[in-house]
Structure 1
Amino acid sequence: LSLGILQARILRNEVTCSLCVKYFIDLVTLGCGHSFCMPCLCLYWEEGQWPPRCPVCRETPHQLSLKTNIILKTRVFLARRTGPYDVPRSAEKMCELHGKTKNLFCEITKEVLCLVCCMSVEHGAHTHCSVEWTAEEYRQRLLKIMRSVWEKIQENKRNLNRETNKIRTWESYVTMWKKMNQTQYWKMFYLVYYGEKHRLEKIEEESKEIFQQLKESQYNMDLKRKLLRQIYEELKELCCKSDMELIQVRMESVQLHMPRPVVPQLSAWPIPGLIDWLNQFQVYVALDNERVTPCVPVFEDLRCLLAVPDGPGVNNSPPRSKYFLAWGAESFTSGQCYWEVDVAGCCNWAIGFCNDSWMRDSDMVLDSEGIFLLLCIRENSQCSFFTASPLSPQYVKRPLGRVGLFLDFDGGVVSFVNVANSSLICSFLSCSFSSPLRPFLCSGHS
């Protein structure tokens, strides 16, 4: 091989992506030093396992911070003007009137013209730009659309993951919800046969309807996933076209209507006399060990479990919060007790009972033993309910005011009720309390 051909090949390898083997578009460089097209990297990591790795050296980047190599981007821009992927000069369209190369683009008529045509009476007052710069502007507009599509792909991915998790846990939740209501009815001796039977029938009817909605939502999101990927890949192919081909493409906005996830909620009907019955066990809870902290491990654990890893170029970090924590001054070792907490105006909170070992920050994790908590956490403008431990989603309407907490230490039951609605939220049943339990509350504000 001649030295010139060898140098040309080296240059071509330097300015082409190893994934698509075409000129870089939206070039980014990983910490290991290897560079790729941003769209190629997005698609590659979307298909691969998490955490992401460099496609060349397989190194796992410590952070997903992607750098821009300005010098290399400039070389790509220059190489695109003369490289083998562009239409050769001899094949460029020549002006039939003047025999000159048509290398200028008219912004008004959207025509490719020669210099003499641009100076004519017909085009003299129009704005003209070189084909190369016009094509580069088009590429940047396409890349902006692609970034928007990619964000929608990640949003749909998160929603699809959540919908799949809801379907996976729905049947076991409905079974437990029936058992919670059954237990509460028997405890109240209220319409033991008719009330209980009627409630269980309504739960079964509602649960089947919501489950069907979840399946339909999952199907629609999967279709949207395929459509978004197809749009993204088509836009990427447009970016790779030669300058002359690209400026002939009509730029149109991409309308992306995203399917919204189902918010499954079983009805929590009022139980007449519930609050009056609970009030006979009401106690005054004095708080102790009060403090404010920017980080609570139990919430950090929950956010990590709920998070779906985003691809590069998407920042979905939740806003920082400050948390108020407090424990009851006294713990309970027997009998029954009831107290209430007002959660109005707060979307990140945790209330319940815990053993004394959970008073240390280092031990406040989700999978701890001896915690019986109801947690509410805000995710993307939507609040979700969970109980811990073990961690389980709760599909009932979020209380906007006072929540009642009932502990039957000897019976092994912890229940949470919506005071305003006089309805059950959830219960821990058949528990075995091996140590004293202390009231706990935590609230967070962004």
Structure 2
Amino acid sequence: MASTGELLKELQNEITCSICRGYFCEPVTIECGHNFCQACLSSSWRVEALAFSCPECRRVSHHREIPIVNRRLAELTEVGKELSSKLMQSTEGQSQCVTHKKPFKLFCEEDQTALCVTCCETPEHGAHKISPIQEAAHKYKRELQHIRSLLGNHLEEDEQLLAQEEKPAVDWSSLFSSECYKILNLRLKEKNLELPERISQEHKANQDRLSQHMQTLQDLMLELQALAHQPNVDLLQDSKQLLRRAEAVLSQRARAVTPELREYPIPGLIEILNRFRVDLTLDPTSADSCVSISGDLKSAKAEEDWQVETKPPEHFPLHYVFAEQAFSSGSQYWEVDVTQLPQWVLGIYTPYLKSRRRRGKKGTCTSLFLLQCVKKEEDYYLRTYPGPLNHRMKSSLPRVGMYLKYSPGTLGFYNVLQRSLIYKFYSIPFTAPVKPIFSPGPPLPGTKPGPMTVCSVDSHLCACCHSSQ
């Protein structure tokens, strides 16, 4: 005859969702007879490759809607939870210390082990932080719930990102095709014939990486849910390691969900742009105490007054300096050496733009068009403002080229070393002179960044040594 514990375990198996590994919450039953939490099934059917298959047996469902809640199973779940809670309370503390044959009552934070009263009197744990098991378990349950909530929020955001990947924010194929035609007056051919296929393959790789990350989040959420229902002694012994794993996954989220900026070299690109090269100097009157300008008016450098706070780099206040020159016609190209800067901002400023109307309402236009580089961990991230670019790079850029065409209003940013387009703003409605702007920061905590230098017209980047020749 089965024991009470065995019967309870069998009941728990019947009222546990195989997706979240926790007790059913609003359980539903699908065609094949398997049961799941309503929310878990909905999430699974949005994320899985086989959108309407059973997460357990993979049988395809012919119904396209989530079933209604199985009330009888919901009632059985509540009964099972109550029985399980009473049994755990009656057996709490029966686990014994092997050495002293006394029940576990305390928990050592340093060693992550349950202790009896006698264990605490030994020199081994004398200087350690000791807490009552109930108190320590309550603390870890709160932490488990908090981290599970974070994972859930990120999973929802990643689902939206994956849906958006069906129509990427940046159409790289069109962008590079247009660049070749408009700047070089040629169409994609010869070496560039394979470009659309390469872009498509890399886009698919981005989708796969994001899906993989989402699966990792789901697996962690299942483990966290299962651990939360374990007896206190088991929960305490496993919580810290699982929490560390979850935190490690969250810390790597930016790398997992941010696509890598690919380099698509365009032969002859920089040589063509150099025909529009202009000699810029920095305006010393535009600098505040956070930025200093060199005597030759070619370099800007972050000073000690630029206070670095413990906030994400994108939230730092930025300090700009302007070029002395302003442009109100024609085409201009200049390059900026950012080799010694982990973080920087480049762009243009114009005080007035033509207003645009949308659906009968007067629209507003930004007066800044920027490319920002931010460093996180070992990676660099490039972002545009305004605009959709938010991509990751494995290494920093030594030099950035900028091409401004006043009419019809375009601004392009280029990776000079790789002879590749980074991003291009189109159809900017200029009505007033445009000034280049520069921001040599924010500096990273504990570092002394070098200068941001506007390159002279006769300075060219050597691909073999990254230096000016």
TM-score w.r.t. length of structure 1: 0.55
- Considering only aligned residues, what root-mean-square deviation do their CA atoms show, in Å? 4.4
Look up the match of 2:403. Answer: 406
The correspondence of residues 8-47 of structure 1 with structure 2, limited to 5 A, is: none
* Aligned partner (choices 196, 202, 206) of residue 200 of structure 1: 196
Could you give the per-residue CA deviations for residues 25-57 of structure 1, whole angstroms, max 9, x where no partner exists?
A: xxxxxxxxxxxxxxxxxxxxxxxxxxxxxxxxx
- 1:111 lines up with 2:97 in the alignment: no
Note closer, same or farther for the CA distance 1:174–1:92 as it changes in structure 2 (3 Å cut).
closer
CA distance in 1, matches of 2:235, 2:344: 52
CA contact (8 A) 1:416 1:426 kept: yes
Q: 1:428 to 1:251 in 2, by over 3 A?
A: closer
Distance 1:381 1:398 in 2: 8
The CA distance in 2 between the partners of 1:407 and 1:127, in whole Å, is: 72
Are residues 1:176 and 2:167 paired? no
1:337 maps to which of 332, 341, 360:
332
2:384 maps to 1:387: yes
Contact 1:292/1:323, CA 8 A, preserved across alignment? no
Tell whether 2:214 aligns with 1:227.
no
**Cα separation, partners in 2 of 1:135 and 1:286, compared to 1, 3 Å:** closer
Give the secondary structure class of the aligned counterpart of 2:404.
Answer: strand
For 1:255, the equivalent position in structure 2 comes to: 241
**What corresponds to 1:3 in structure 2?**
none
Equivalent of 1:142, from 137, 140, 144? 137
Inter-CA distance 205–127: structure 2 relative to 1 (3 Å threshold): closer
Partner in structure 2 of residue 424 of structure 1: 421
Partner of 1:200, secondary structure, is helix
Identity within the alignment, %: 22
How many residues are matched?
Answer: 299
Taking a change above 3 Å as real, the CA distance of residues 212 and 173 of structure 1, as seen in their structure-2 partners, is same
Q: Quote the offset at 1:180 in angstroms.
A: 1.4
Pair 1:188-2:188 in alignment:
no
User: Per-residue CA shift, 1:212-245, capped at 9, x if unaligned?
Assistant: 22223223323323432443x337x73xxxxxxx
The 3 A distance-change label for structure 1 pair 154 and 349 is: farther
Amino acid of the structure 2 residue aligned with 1:268 = E
1:211 alignment partner, SS class = helix
Label 1:350 to 1:250 Cα distance change in 2 as closer, same or farther (>3 A). closer
Structure 2 Cα separation of the partners of residues 136 and 423 of structure 1: 59
Q: Distance in 2 between matches of 1:281 and 1:226?
A: 58
Counterpart of 2:176, as a letter, is N
Distance in 2 (alpha carbons) for counterparts of 1:250 and 1:378:
36
- Offset at 1:143? 5.1
CA 1:92/1:410 → structure 2, altered by over 3 Å: closer, same or farther?
closer
Q: Distance in 2 between matches of 1:444 and 1:249?
A: 43
Q: 1:249 to 1:444 in 2, by over 3 A?
A: closer
Shift of 1:203: 0.7
Asked if structure 1 preserves the Cα contact closer than 8 Å seen for 2:322 and 2:436, the reply is yes
The alpha-carbon distance between structure 1 residues 317 and 375, as it changes in their structure 2 partners (threshold 3 A), is closer
Q: Is the 8 A contact 2:137 2:235 kept in 1?
A: no
Q: Determine if the alignment matches structure 1 residue 217 to structure 2 residue 208.
A: no
> Which of the numbers 349, 353, 359 marks the counterpart of 2:348?
353
* 8 A contact 2:136–2:236 mirrored in 1: no
Contact 2:380 2:392 in 1 (8 A): no
Gaps of 5+ in 1: 1-84, 94-101, 114-122, 239-245, 295-315, 359-366
Alignment match, 1:439: 436
Cα 1:284–1:384 shift into 2, 3 Å: same
Deviations 1:167-201 (A, max 9, x none): 34434436522221011111213564334432122
